[in-house]
Structure 1
Amino acid sequence: MKDADPKTGAPAILRCRPVLVTGGAGFIGSNLADRFASEGHDVLVYDALARPGVDRNLDWLKKRHPAKISAVIGDIRDETAVADAASDAQAVFHMAAQVAVTTSLADPRNDFEINIRGTLNLLDTLRRLNGMVPLVFASTNKVYGDLADVELDMTNDAYVPRDPAIRDAGIGETRPLDFHTPYGCSKGAADQYVLDYARSYGIPTCVLRMSCIYGQRQMGTEDQGWVAHFLIRALEGQPITIYGDGCQVRDILNISDAVDAYGAAWKRIDAVQGRAFNLGGGPSNAISLRQLLVHIEDVIGRPVETHYSDWRAGDQRYYVSDTRQIACELGLKTPTPWRKGVAALAQWLQEERGLAGAIRPSSRLQEAAALS
């Protein structure tokens, strides 16, 4: 059901053309919705509220922007509801997805329905309208497979590519696609549908293949959102399980920088339509799981209990985004240094979860944030 305007009683979506954010109560979606509402746009959040904790994000958005945020509680698989939500949109940011590799392995059909059919529902709605509504799609680095052919050495508890080109710049968009696991297949297929609808129908679409995004409003779990998950477990004094040896490397990107990229893709959609870009923190923000744990121990001032288990299907030992192309095309600024961003997330989680005193001494946050 569409929320009513608090002043007129009319659905806010009817006042002007909104920005539609599917999965808009999720981590990235809620931050996008907040940014666009702050810039004066009416925003329609479309979300099934299936992920634990995201209802709090939606409540937060409504309180911050009571006259700008409308919501439809709906499933991306519901073709009629999706068509209704997108019917008046001025732009669409498609974040709604099944996001965990483990869940896709347990229920591949559901993964297919959400990630492929849900995306096609949205694309075909735009095709049947007028083909001029831009859509920016949240894809994943998993479209490149497990990258097993990248030869690696190990230095300081982190895998390092032997190829200096990859070591210095990361994985570029020219890397061949190689879908692994049902999740990789479903997100990869959706990625390709989004690009092809630009080619076949002229719809202005753009794909952002994300590495690891972290930051405020992230409800990290063992299956998805590992930076926040590690912090939550550490702050609560709970053990952390690492799958693999912990030396796997990712480039992490603060949510504020990710939102900048999505907004820039919309603003420059005429120049970037039909193209895919790798979005992450780049080589300067590349860290291993073990390196993050050491940093978290410095931030909270105590050891973190850690257990190890087997590698999980499709896990990449090394993935770092080559961000040169997206930074150039979208005019992006230098991303937030990871120590500063992680310290800010730790502070937010401490406050959000009522964990006063979880970080001892409090000055450690400022010390960590100053390191870059």
Structure 2
Amino acid sequence: MSGGDRRPVLVTGGAGFIGCNIADALAARGHDVLVYDALVRPGVEANLAWLRERHPRRIHAIIGDVRDELLLADAAAGAKAVFHMAAQVAVTTSLIDPREDFEINVCGTINLLDALRTRNPGTPLIFASTNKVYGDLADIPLALEGDGYAPLDPAVRVHGISEKQLLDFHTPYGCSKGAADQYVLDHARSFGMPAAVMRMSCIYGQRQMGTEDQGWVAHFLIRALEGRPITLYGDGHQLRDILDVSNAVEAYLAAWERIDEVRGRAFNLGGGPENAVSLVRLLAYVEALIGREIDISFAPWRAGDQRYFVADTRAAEAALGLGPRLPWKVGVARLLRWLSDARGFDRSLLTAGAMT
């Protein structure tokens, strides 16, 4: 990171969950940060206000859409680095309006890439991609073991899904994020752009405004705190590796620090096998934290849902020098406490296990 360069770091989607945590970490390290966000997702205005309160001299904002080519280009032209987090983030929404999904995720990314290529060449770009670029992984044989699916392949069982897994775009969301992922990597290849891609598993943590369509860990906790029912799509045995946002931020900043070594590479970013948990297991843990049962119902599988995804994180750990990941039970309890405080719930209603 160039400490003497006073230009701001641009964070598109910087008022969103991961984006605001990246912006906060950057500002804490002494960087000026330009948050570029359309403020469309409910609750993100509070994230921007939080950033401004914590870093009044470091945080600057442009309220804009990545589809606004000229506005985005002006923001990118003066940046010393870019974290591209802005996106249409829900599979369900992409199925309702695939054109808008394409325009935001593909055209918005092209707008940013073109602005950097023509007006600010040599600027590092870190792109937020998704494990959905690998499709539903139906070609990986699974067995139901206990409360979750497990791969039959011993190597996958031990390490998870690596970056060598073939790309297989499913749903409009998978197609749009996958296309953007490939455009970023090709700009590194074709134009020498110092760019890298993070294919994220399930990231959770403070400042997450979880909904049924996206941010399922926070969604489960919010519903549990409110005493409202939760619907599981599928059988609840789907296995996911979940990663606390603090660890995700560490990886993003490390990618910028080491961009000369990792340019043109894509990394799977998740909690890894030690933080793999099925939906029903996570809900059982939440019940223990709140001290009461949750009303759980089941609905048919949704399009593109993976029965198993656990990231093989070895490439990211080696290339980015990442430290230990927060254990999922610790992180989920922390998020529950934060949500309880943020939403005005009485902490005394939580069990002792939630407070440790």
> TM-score scaled to structure 2, two decimals?
0.98
Tell me, in whole angstroms, the C-alpha distance in 1 between the residues paired with 2:263 and 2:312: 19
* Paired AA for residue 183 in structure 1: Y
* Paired AA for residue 353 in structure 2: R
Equivalent residue, structure 1, for 2:335: 345
Equivalent residue, structure 1, for 2:115: 125
**1:268-325: CA deviation from partner (whole Å, max 9, x where unpaired):** 0000000000000000000000000000001001001101001000100000000001
Matches within 5 A, 1:49-128: 49-128=39-118
Tell me, in whole angstroms, the C-alpha distance in 1 between the residues paired with 2:222 and 2:104: 28
Equivalent residue, structure 1, for 2:314: 324
Q: CA deviation at 1:365?
A: 1.5
Equivalent residue, structure 1, for 2:127: 137
Q: Does 1:158 align with 2:148?
A: yes
Q: Does 1:28 align with 2:18?
A: yes
Other structure's SS at 2:27 match: helix
Tell me, in whole angstroms, the C-alpha distance in 2 between the residues paired with 1:75 and 1:237: 36
**1:340-372: CA deviation from partner (whole Å, max 9, x where unpaired):** 0000000000000001147433x22145xxxxx
2:350 alignment partner, one of 351, 360, 363: 360
Contact 1:235 1:359 in 2 (8 A): no
Equivalent residue, structure 2, for 1:310: 300
Matches within 5 A, 1:166-181: 166-181=156-171
Tell me, in whole angstroms, the C-alpha distance in 1 between the residues paired with 2:349 and 2:246: 23
* Paired AA for residue 20 in structure 1: L
Tell me, in whole angstroms, the C-alpha distance in 2 between the residues paired with 1:263 and 1:196: 22
**1:95-132: CA deviation from partner (whole Å, max 9, x where unpaired):** 00000000000000000000000000000000002420
Using a 3 Å threshold, how does the CA distance of structure 1 residues 196 and 358 change in structure 2: closer, same or farther?
farther
Tell me, in whole angstroms, the C-alpha distance in 1 between the residues paired with 2:182 and 2:347: 47
2:136 alignment partner, one of 136, 142, 146: 146
Any stretches of 5+ residues in structure 1 without a counterpart?
Answer: 1-14, 368-372
Q: CA deviation at 1:334?
A: 1.3
2:249 alignment partner, one of 251, 259, 264: 259
Equivalent residue, structure 2, for 1:243: 233
Tell me, in whole angstroms, the C-alpha distance in 2 between the residues paired with 1:366 and 1:128: 52
Equivalent residue, structure 2, for 1:204: 194
**1:167-186: CA deviation from partner (whole Å, max 9, x where unpaired):** 00000000110000000000
Q: CA deviation at 1:244?
A: 0.3
Equivalent residue, structure 2, for 1:11: none
* Paired AA for residue 112 in structure 2: L
Indicate the larger mover: 147-156 or 106-115: 147-156
Runs of 4+ in 1 over 2 A off after TM superposition: 357-361
Q: Does 1:190 align with 2:168?
A: no
Tell me, in whole angstroms, the C-alpha distance in 1 between the residues paired with 2:108 and 2:250: 25
Q: Does 1:270 align with 2:240?
A: no
Contact 2:78 2:120 in 1 (8 A): no
Q: CA deviation at 1:261?
A: 0.1
Q: Does 1:221 align with 2:221?
A: no
Equivalent residue, structure 2, for 1:279: 269
Tell me, in whole angstroms, the C-alpha distance in 1 between the residues paired with 2:146 and 2:51: 41
Contact 1:253 1:281 in 2 (8 A): yes
Contact 2:76 2:120 in 1 (8 A): no
* Paired AA for residue 280 in structure 1: G
The count of aligned residue pairs is: 352
Query: What RMSD in Å do the two structures reach over aligned CA positions?
Result: 1.0
Tell me, in whole angstroms, the C-alpha distance in 2 between the residues paired with 1:328 and 1:140: 20
Tell me, in whole angstroms, the C-alpha distance in 2 between the residues paired with 1:156 and 1:124: 49
Identity %: 66
Q: CA deviation at 1:191?
A: 0.0
* Paired AA for residue 158 in structure 2: D
> TM-score scaled to structure 1, two decimals?
0.93
Contact 2:337 2:355 in 1 (8 A): no
Other structure's SS at 2:293 match: coil
Tell me, in whole angstroms, the C-alpha distance in 2 between the residues paired with 1:359 and 1:248: 30
Q: CA deviation at 1:253?
A: 0.2
Other structure's SS at 2:102 match: helix
Q: CA deviation at 1:66?
A: 0.3
Equivalent residue, structure 2, for 1:9: none
